[in-house]
Structure 1
Amino acid sequence: MKKWTRLKYHPNTTLGPNGTRITSSTTHADLARRLAREGMVLLKNDDNALPLTDGVKLAVFGTNQFDYVKGGGGSADVVAPYAHGLNDGLAEKEAAGQLSVFAPLSDFYRESVQTQRAANIEVGRTTQPALDPALIEAAARFTDTAIITIGRFSGEGNDRQLKPGDGDYYLAPEEDAMVAAATVNFAHVIVVLNVGGVVDTNWFKDDPRIQAVLLAWQGGEEGGPAAADLLVGDTTPSGKLPDTFAGRDDAYPGAAHFTDSLDYVDYTEDIFVGYRYFETFAAARKQVNYPFGFGLSYTHFAISGVSVAPQAVTTVTTVSKAGGTDGQVEASDGFQVTATVLNTGDRAGKETLQLYLSAPQGQLGKPAKELVAFQKTRLLQPGEAQTVFLRFNLDDHASFDDLGKIAKSAFVLERGDYALSLGTSVADVETLDWHHREPADRIVRQAASLVTPHQLAKRLLADGSYEALPTDDVQKTAVNDGSARVPLDATLPLTQVRRLTPQPVDRPEDWNDPSVAGLNLLDVAEGRGSLADLVGEMTNGELATLVSGIHVQQSVSNTGGFGGLPQHGIPEVMTADGPGGIRVERNIGQSATAWPCETLLASTFEPALLQEFGAAMASEMKENNLEVWLAPALNIHRDPRCGRNFEYFSEDPLLNGLCGAAEITGIQNQHIGATIKHFACNNKEENRGESDSRVSERALREIYLRPFEIAVHLAQPWAVMTSYNMLNENFNAQNGEMLNDVLRGEWGFDGLVMTDWWNRAFHAKEIAAGNDLKMPDGEAGNLIEALASGDLTREQLETAARHVLELMLKLD
């Protein structure tokens, strides 16, 4: 196939066996179901209430059994062929003779959902109807076992409500009544949570009337059947929590200032995010109901033969190209922990070992524990053992000294003793017989002071006190409201402006306009000319249009694309939203696989499985003639309020980075581009277009940029998407320190940087700062003006255009 044939013709060539479509195929549905099973977390299982006994009779409470939430709203929403909820999963087991469901109760909830749908109540928003006592009595005569289903929905653009009784973080009054009806009338009660993020767990944690709780997350199109697989014991749960579940919403350190203002958020908790906070402070630890990394199984495991040895480990923190080294270097302080995991129970299952580092407090202060490695076993049969290896590099976990207490703007390992603990959650660990001592403060890597805060007055320290930070009178940058937008001169020759209307192309050779002399992109791809020469031949107007997106739907995409200068043989490259699957245009009669949400994927603690998911995603992209997937999303779960947490992996930078790198590898191995987003500190949805995230340099380096750094170094994504928000008084999209100095300079990123859609930054400032592409369209006229005024140089514009074209050259 000639290069870019798919891009030019959009033939939708099927990629499945025997001419079938792989998109929405049973193969991908099976993978989605397997992913969902691997990531669901068993939170509670008193008296071995689960798995259900064969032939059990069930009474199922809650509209969620029909009002199933496959994933959150916004860019992660997917037009799927179906979304099978818990009722579908239980019906499958009933047909197999494994259980029976009390139909009148389920019919009651089905009719309620249908009525609420007719009243335009959206998915995940239904309320629980009042129960007829006679119906409850009949259900209790049928069985003594009840399942309570609870669903939650959130979406892009809005944050969650955490007030008691609002039916989001906490139960609504109608749900309280439903829970009371079940717990009073049934001896055995099981809860299934179909949620995208952290919710209240107090109502079941210590209630002996509720024996078991399955955190099923938002499991994609096959989430209900996957949950049923676990409930009946066809599969053993192996998911682990990627977040800390505290007893109260205000127990999280970010809660104190989350709603102070629509204009800014003060990250006063600094590096103490998630378990780093709860494990460091004794009072906070008491607030934890279920710790990070926690998850039960139907079987039991024993850990033995633990040893620690020096090991040459490839470091994640590499020397950048600017520093003279291309790629990864071997670690000088690498270690390997070896342990044997034995299945001592009577069911097959998997266990995840987690390795945590405890560093000396020194002058900078550190969290009590920090995840440095994890490894999930294969499926172990009863009596079977596996030796696992956990490797880490101590240098990767140095502290960033932003105030110069030891060495300003350096990553430092402070002198003192370092310890390791190994276990199955952050709270269930044993200290290893290993001690490493740094005899003196050691600078691991010297960086620069970049993206400093101006208005953040204080931050939390490891002893519980607050440290004052320097502030000044620097104000937030101006916001682009579009009023000054200058249209590109319509009198320019056609060779200088994009054809805004899709043009038919009858033959491949017609793509390269013979009326235009000079190089075309295919010449560059086939070695007949250089990219620098091609860009050099392009006019200012052509360059300005090339770095502006195409807000024209040429395919099933609903996000548009970029490129489209046929006079230079430059094709149109179409994008697709993620990370829940490819988000195709609605009402065109086409669907795609709806995959589990990213939080569930992180709960698998199995990057290799996520690489398999990435490969499947790439095949659906390719089959639908889409070339750049706008995923994965790597933002940190700073606080449960963020309405988009379901779209992000976890509260831990390492887990985020490794999950993201695995997905990227699976995607880009098939020559489909991955786009890591949202760079960076997009941890709140309210007023996300202008809100200023005020973050210390240390927290920025160690927590919020770290997942992106890991993904860049391990997988080299082809694209990065900047976030809507400001970071320390300036838009990320036009911040040269973030893009040119950190991303490209320190980390050696050599791909494309694009904006989020319809952001509020200025296009000329973005190009000057290293943001190559404005989406879904740009301000080409303003770029021409900026060139004339000297605010933008031709060299900067050519650099951006070159990055756009370099990505295209990677595509098939």
Structure 2
Amino acid sequence: MLSINMDDVVAVLKNCMPYLIAMAVALVVMIVIVALAGKIVKQQAGTKLLRGTTLVAFFTAIVVILNAVCYGPMANLLDLVSGSGSISAESSAEASALTEELTDEGITLLQNDDDLLPVKAGSNINVFGWSSISPVYGGTGSGAISADAELVTLLDGFKNAGLKTNTELSDFYSKYLATRPELGYFEHDWTLPEPPASSYTDEMIANAKQFSDTAVVTISRLGGEFADLPTDMQFDSDTEKYKENSDEYQDFPEGTHYLEPSQSEKDLIKLVCENFDNVILVYNGANTLELGIADEYSQIKSVLWCAGPGQTGFNALGDIIAGNVNPSGHAADTFVYDLTKTPYFNNIGEFEYTGADDLSYEAEGFFTSGTTSPHFVDYVEDIYVGYKFYETAADEGLIKYDDVVQYPFGHGLSYTTFDQKMGDVTVSNGKVSFDVTVTNTGDTAGKDVVQVYYNPPYVNGGIEKASANLVTFEKTKELKPGESETVAIEFNLEDMASYDSADAKAYVLDKGDYEISVNADSHTALDSKTITVDERTVYDGNNARSTDRTAATNHFDYAAGEGITYLSRANHFANYDEAVAAPTDYEMPASAKEGFHNSHNYDPNDYNDDSDEMPTTGAKNGLKLADLRGADYDDPQWDKLLDQMSVKDMDELIALGGYQNVAVKSIGKKLVYDADGPASINNNFTGLSSIGFPSEVIIASTWNKDLAEKFGESIGRMANEMNVTGWYAPAMNTHRSAFDGRNFEYYSEDGVLAGHIAAHSIIGAQSKGLYAYMKHFAMNDQQIAQNEMLCTWAREQAIREIYLKPFEIAVKVGGSKAVMSSWNYIGNKWAGANDDLLKSVLRSEWGFQGMVITDGFHYTGYMDSDQAIRNGTDMMLKNFDVATNHVTDQTSATSVIAMRNACHDILYTVVNSHAYDPSVKTETPVWRIVAIAVDVVLGLLLVGAEVLAVRRYLARRKSGVTVA
């Protein structure tokens, strides 16, 4: 989301048009009166008085109109750009240290043959690869690091760790191309300016061999908002570009994609391996790359995954290579040899419906123009996402695991070795518990991760179940050689239930044997036990799961779509080829059209309830919002407070929720600010930003809940100093595909890992009074067409077990108080107006109490505030007036009740935030203070000018000047 753009400017000018017209009219009137003054008043003194008074009146009118503009359509933007606050040096230093700590534990050592790493302290080291001088720090878009940030470069990180790098190489790359090609919102330059191998002279290679016998090769990939990584590098669009590095070959021949090494990168690796026996491959990117080339050369002994490390995180990379830090990261995603053979590959990208002209519209938005029609994407792989597919497919004989998977989910090496032993497993009061004894059996201090998986009983053709499922995890403290730690593990028995959307329409814990294991990764069990469930349990009706407020039941049957074949484990994945094939029928089904709404065909009057009674508005009950701090959501005082609001008050609070929510005089509500940035906290209007933290992939790869909580606390502390109350983060959508450009700001392919890391980030942020908008709710798992009415089709079981899982944990464990919905449709219902998602599941089932905001409101043409507030959204992410962010139906009881409920959610969240901490001083935006001062000065000047004009008139009359 961007905060200011040309469409914003145009929209604001449209809103200001009546005032500009008034200025023009005042100017014309002034010119006419001044020109005709001599004819209107015959006396010379009177003529001059008329002209002077007209000028004073004109400038008074201009001042009044400018005040109307500033306090009207421009007020919210001016409030935003004049926000106050600053980040203390102490908080910045703490955040910087935390960034390195997160990256210390988040960089993942994927391979380390012959114990090549760590290198000796103070070693010389050759660093090959253009990305060594232009690495990836994070991603682009709303999750990007501030452009003004001072960065620790990759080579700085080596230097700071005591390693000496070959400057001849780095100078060579800088001369080739020192900057990274632009990956923007509109045009995407995917160029990887890797010098051809032929450009390395014999002298350069000889000098490098003399400098060191060890070589690092860096490869990087950058992703960002609105740019899924290309699955086909042959572009025929001006917005997608690639500049070749040589006239003699193509970096990406026909049929290749962005997440495999380019020909220039392959040639470089070949050159390096021909000249060095000790090669370290560093992959710097959040999207899993095909790294099979590491198997092709025995010289590549070590492989490190360093997703965007943030502003100072490359210090951690240097420290790990130098042995100053023992790596303890574990992969948050699965690395496979061939991404084109993943079950999702044929069902990502742009699929535009045909036969949907009646639902199309002419877009005039920032990101879309021309005719916009509904699109679709089919989640055909069902629950078999990431490792859940590979482990199950191997067990069923569909694949040979080692031929397909290179580095499993959860895989990560250390410079020491560990042993993990399970104690006896007990099942009592619905809890599964046991101890795991972790012992450092090596000679270096380090941390390990206890990963707990379960394999449930599966009946052929029954409820779909993966054979490996992460259920919980813990990270040890740093263990010295020979030291042990006993880690207590506990989870709910019901956490192993599967959702049966076909028959029970509820979560079901089948009877049978459940294998519980502690693993080194999703594929490698270290120890295991089996527990037996004697009776089948259906969690329905009054027998809800212990964490649910009401029992889960089917709400998304319509989202399964029509004519879609979903992957099934039945008969050893017998339908695999049929299920994972690309769609062939693009015709929008009649069942999808029925009930499909956007702002162009939604009429709120069609959904009014005649039995609704109009609430009280504009009452004088004498309450202030601050009086409700700490009150229960259902406290009767809320009704009295809400009675005081007018319909206009409610509409403005709902409509103008972008990066702030407005002051409401009738209830004494103060203006509060929200800020962006999953990797930091950025005020896009004042330009104030925190340090750039590592990408969420790095944070997830720590598998460290305590560190995630410290991250949230650091964000919260800096937000308080910035006078910011809401944080548009954390983002926790699923890495369904390696090609999602936004994977850098989402955590993982696994909902349990993502959910707990997100939950603890939220706990940390909210401990400082900052409400964190978990986003994007839900199923916003690709960038292509996400803002073009993207119908996302999936079965209810996959929706719940895969895509809602991290959000569910963030609410139930993290206590999330705020949600940002997503642009896409779930089935044929826009997520921001999906009552099944926002009411039935989020609030009724999970017990969420807080507010829901849309994603960037005017970057699409189909979002509608009437539809949104009636179906569970509370606030529109927009900071000035556009056509559809204001509620159009402000007269029906149904609509006013919906507005009132939305305001209740917003006010409840805000009053319990840092903004209403009694120690926080309320500050008036600077521009309002300046405007008052300017108005006073101008008022005095204008009054003075008029007094002077009258005095001169009287003086002329007294002197007898009467003839014009």
TM-score when scaled to structure 1? 0.85
- Counterparts of 1:382 and 1:526 in 2: how far apart (Å)? 49
What amino acid is the match of 1:795?
I
What amino acid is the match of 2:891?
A
Contact 1:547 1:773 in 2 (8 A): yes
Contact 2:705 2:756 in 1 (8 A): yes
Q: 1:192 to 1:352 in 2, by over 3 A?
A: same
- Counterparts of 2:182 and 2:775 in 1: how far apart (Å)? 37
**C-alpha distance after superposition, 1:352-411 (max 9, x if no partner):** 12111111113213111111121211111111111112211120221111111xx2x111
> Counterpart of 1:252?
342
What amino acid is the match of 2:723?
N
> Counterpart of 1:447?
552
Contact 1:544 1:780 in 2 (8 A): no
Q: 1:210 to 1:372 in 2, by over 3 A?
A: same
Q: 1:456 to 1:394 in 2, by over 3 A?
A: farther
> Counterpart of 1:237?
327
Q: Is 1:583 aligned with 2:702? A: no
- Counterparts of 1:364 and 1:483 in 2: how far apart (Å)? 37
How far is 1:465 from its partner? Answer: 3.3
Alignment of 1:516-527 (within 5 A): 518-525=622-629
- Counterparts of 2:641 and 2:806 in 1: how far apart (Å)? 35
Contact 1:676 1:708 in 2 (8 A): yes
Q: Secondary structure at the match of 1:698?
A: helix
Q: Secondary structure at the match of 1:47?
A: helix
> Counterpart of 1:374?
473
> Counterpart of 1:135?
204
Q: Is 1:726 aligned with 2:829? A: no
Contact 2:655 2:887 in 1 (8 A): no
- Counterparts of 1:259 and 1:116 in 2: how far apart (Å)? 25
Q: Is 1:88 aligned with 2:156? A: yes
Q: 1:21 to 1:566 in 2, by over 3 A?
A: farther
Q: Secondary structure at the match of 1:547?
A: helix
What amino acid is the match of 2:574?
S
Match of 2:877 among 766, 769, 775: 775
- Counterparts of 1:124 and 1:428 in 2: how far apart (Å)? 37
Higher percent of residues as helix: 2
> Counterpart of 1:176?
266
- Counterparts of 2:601 and 2:463 in 1: how far apart (Å)? 44
**C-alpha distance after superposition, 1:523-571 (max 9, x if no partner):** 44499993322221222121111111255xxxxxxxx211222353222
**C-alpha distance after superposition, 1:338-363 (max 9, x if no partner):** 12111111111111121111111132
Instruction: Count residues in correspondence.
Output: 735
> Counterpart of 2:423?
306
Q: 1:483 to 1:395 in 2, by over 3 A?
A: closer
- Counterparts of 2:834 and 2:529 in 1: how far apart (Å)? 46
Contact 2:284 2:305 in 1 (8 A): yes
Contact 1:638 1:651 in 2 (8 A): yes
Structural RMSD (CA): 3.0
Q: Is the deviation greater in 361-370 or in 39-48?
A: 361-370
Contact 1:299 1:349 in 2 (8 A): yes
Contact 2:644 2:667 in 1 (8 A): no
> Counterpart of 1:113?
177
Q: Is the deviation greater in 349-358 or in 77-86?
A: 77-86
- Counterparts of 1:264 and 1:67 in 2: how far apart (Å)? 36
> Counterpart of 2:411?
294
> Counterpart of 1:808?
910
Q: 1:12 to 1:125 in 2, by over 3 A?
A: farther
> Counterpart of 1:213?
303
Q: Is 1:479 aligned with 2:598? A: yes
Q: 1:149 to 1:265 in 2, by over 3 A?
A: same
**C-alpha distance after superposition, 1:717-770 (max 9, x if no partner):** 110111110001110111111111111111111100110012532110110001
- Counterparts of 2:623 and 2:474 in 1: how far apart (Å)? 51
- Counterparts of 2:457 and 2:183 in 1: how far apart (Å)? 59
- Counterparts of 2:849 and 2:168 in 1: how far apart (Å)? 60
Alignment of 1:608-687 (within 5 A): 608-687=706-785
What amino acid is the match of 1:788?
T
- Counterparts of 1:339 and 1:459 in 2: how far apart (Å)? 38
Q: 1:618 to 1:109 in 2, by over 3 A?
A: same
TM-score when scaled to structure 2? 0.72
**C-alpha distance after superposition, 1:93-151 (max 9, x if no partner):** 34xxxx32222112212333337779999999551123332322221222221111111
> Counterpart of 1:496?
none
What amino acid is the match of 1:91?
K
- Counterparts of 1:136 and 1:768 in 2: how far apart (Å)? 67
> Counterpart of 1:320?
none
Q: Is 1:264 aligned with 2:376? A: yes
Q: Secondary structure at the match of 1:473?
A: helix
Contact 1:76 1:583 in 2 (8 A): no
Q: Is 1:417 aligned with 2:513? A: yes
Q: Is the deviation greater in 533-542 or in 150-159?
A: 533-542
Contact 1:628 1:672 in 2 (8 A): yes
**C-alpha distance after superposition, 1:189-210 (max 9, x if no partner):** 1111110121111111352121
Contact 2:326 2:446 in 1 (8 A): yes
What amino acid is the match of 2:230?
Q
Q: Is the deviation greater in 171-180 or in 565-574?
A: 565-574
Q: 1:206 to 1:767 in 2, by over 3 A?
A: same
Contact 2:765 2:771 in 1 (8 A): yes
> Counterpart of 2:124?
57
How far is 1:228 from its partner? Answer: 0.3
Contact 1:125 1:152 in 2 (8 A): no
> Counterpart of 2:229?
160
> Counterpart of 1:564?
663
What amino acid is the match of 1:451?
F
Q: Is the deviation greater in 280-289 or in 660-669?
A: 280-289
> Counterpart of 2:218?
149
> Counterpart of 1:799?
901
How far is 1:589 from its partner? Answer: 6.3
How far is 1:787 from its partner? Answer: 3.5
How far is 1:806 from its partner? Answer: 0.9
What amino acid is the match of 1:717?
S
What amino acid is the match of 1:128?
E
> Counterpart of 1:395?
494
> Counterpart of 1:358?
455
> Counterpart of 2:673?
574
> Counterpart of 2:389?
277
Q: Secondary structure at the match of 2:598?
A: coil
What amino acid is the match of 1:473?
S
How far is 1:10 from its partner? Answer: 7.9
How far is 1:517 from its partner? Answer: 8.6
What amino acid is the match of 1:521?
L
How far is 1:430 from its partner? Answer: 4.2
- Counterparts of 1:267 and 1:45 in 2: how far apart (Å)? 36
Match of 2:889 among 786, 803, 809: 786
Larger radius of gyration: 2
Contact 2:182 2:188 in 1 (8 A): no
Contact 2:755 2:805 in 1 (8 A): yes
How far is 1:442 from its partner? Answer: 4.1
